[in-house]
Homo-oligomer: A and B are copies of this chain.
């Protein structure tokens, strides 16, 4: 049975502008895919359909988070006064070790998935930990919630504490299990070497082979800060740039690849990313909090790179991708302030990055064009809408001022998604 929803519909087919349908209709087929949008039922061929009417609310594509560490959820918003290394040693690694316990994992991961839901994120590209079993727990929780995710068991076997290291063979075995698990189409595993300094060449090679063998996507960190880049150069002296170090192991676009940060990616690396179709997960709050720098996103877009947004909990402190849009614009305004030849990101460009651009990593996701999976949020902004605002102003105000309270309905691939349960 196809479904039809009525509301003020806003989305970005192109990055340069919004499509706006005042009192529009959107029709969705049995498979959860968009049939079309229109301002009348006739042009949708849906005159007889039952219409769910959302009245004066806004209907927009749901959010996609391209980079987030689920097991760092407990550490969200703490220890922000620490520098990177003590932060990793005292907070991040000890916390990740706890995920050897699947009970702890289930308790914390349930909150994590619930809070992604709260903030309207229906698809996420997630780092778990080295632990196969608790990674499986997280995948199950996404499945139960009906939300989409690519979940990575983390590969790491050097420069990390003893409790957070795994033999290459173990890692391969774990990944093969996850890859062979029967999974509904919305949840899959993703090859996730933590980053070059955490993985021996053997582990990186095994990761690349797994990606190709099981046709799995790849995620990791790239050029987040300058010390890290120098360290990678030391560890992989034959590589011409950080990205090339991944490339040599088959981890840079041989299968769909997303790299977080890219704050300092330069000419050659950008060229390679372009050639390989490597996607950028821009994580502006994290780049501020960890004092990494300000990624040159305007430059990336000009170069034709694919860019999405990531919350990067717990380097980032905020799960809301709407908040990431605000920060992304602000970062671009600092580049613009220094060089007026780099126009700052517009709202439509940033919305497009968070929806259609990021969504492309999960399939046909993030737009309301025909054939797209219907991932959507219904926004009741009546408490923010106290004067004669246009629909675009209402959306902008929601992005800048709103929070989870205004999201009244969430859809993923055509299904209404209800609040996932947590363990109190």
Contact of A291 with B337 at beta-carbon distance under 8 Å, contacts A317-B400, A400-B317, A403-B403 already known: yes
Contact of A326 with B317 at beta-carbon distance under 8 Å, contacts A78-B396, A81-B347 already known: yes
Q: Is A415 an interface residue (CB 8 A)?
A: no
CB <8 Å contact, B111 and A396 = no
CB <8 Å contact, A397 and B76 = yes
CB <8 Å contact, A291 and B344 = yes
Q: Which residues of B contact A367 (CB under 8 A)?
A: none
A331-376 at interface with B (beta carbon < 8 Å)? 333-334, 336-337, 344, 346-347
CB <8 Å contact, A333 and B76 = no
Interface bits A70-81 vs B (CB < 8 Å: 1, else 0): 000010111111
Q: Which residues of B contact A78 (CB under 8 A)?
A: 389, 393, 396-397, 400
CB <8 Å contact, A401 and B292 = no
CB <8 Å contact, B294 and A334 = yes
Bound CA span A318–B154, Å: 37
Bound CA span A289–B326, Å: 9
For this chain, the copies found in one complex come to 2
Bound CA span A105–B396, Å: 24
Q: Is A387 an interface residue (CB 8 A)?
A: yes
Q: Which residues of B contact A292 (CB under 8 A)?
A: 337
Contact of A77 with B334 at beta-carbon distance under 8 Å, contacts A111-B386, A291-B344 already known: no
Return A297 CB to nearest CB of chain B, in Å: 14
Bound CA span A293–B400, Å: 20
Q: Is A39 an interface residue (CB 8 A)?
A: no
CB <8 Å contact, A401 and B77 = yes
Bound CA span A292–B333, Å: 9
Contact of A400 with B333 at beta-carbon distance under 8 Å, contacts A111-B386, A386-B111 already known: no
Q: Which residues of B contact A289 (CB under 8 A)?
A: 329-330, 333
CB <8 Å contact, B400 and A77 = yes
Chain B residue at minimum C-beta to C-beta distance from A400: B77
Return A74 CB to nearest CB of chain B, in Å: 5
CB <8 Å contact, A80 and B347 = yes
CB <8 Å contact, A74 and B317 = no
| Most-contacted residue by chain B among A76, A329, A330 (CB, 10 A) | A330
CB <8 Å contact, B329 and A80 = yes
Bound CA span A334–B74, Å: 25
Chain B residue at minimum C-beta to C-beta distance from A387: B74
CB <8 Å contact, A76 and B294 = no
Q: Is A231 an interface residue (CB 8 A)?
A: no
Bound CA span A3–B329, Å: 47
Bound CA span A403–B77, Å: 13
Q: Which residues of B contact A81 (CB under 8 A)?
A: 346-347
Contact of A396 with B80 at beta-carbon distance under 8 Å, contacts A330-B288, A401-B317 already known: yes
A281-337 at interface with B (beta carbon < 8 Å)? 285, 288-294, 317-318, 326, 329-330, 333-334, 336-337
Bound CA span A48–B288, Å: 50
Return A158 CB to nearest CB of chain B, in Å: 27
| Most-contacted residue by chain B among A108, A317, A393 (CB, 10 A) | A317
A43-81 at interface with B (beta carbon < 8 Å)? 74, 76-81
CB <8 Å contact, A401 and B334 = no
Return A120 CB to nearest CB of chain B, in Å: 16
Contact of A291 with B334 at beta-carbon distance under 8 Å, contacts A74-B387, A401-B318 already known: yes
Chain B residue at minimum C-beta to C-beta distance from A225: B337
Chain B residue at minimum C-beta to C-beta distance from A384: B77
Chain B residue at minimum C-beta to C-beta distance from A317: B400
Q: For the A-B complex with A80-B329, A111-B386 known, give 10 more contacts whose Cβ atoms are closer than 8 Å.
A: A76-B400, A77-B396, A80-B400, A108-B387, A288-B333, A291-B333, A291-B334, A291-B336, A334-B334, A403-B403
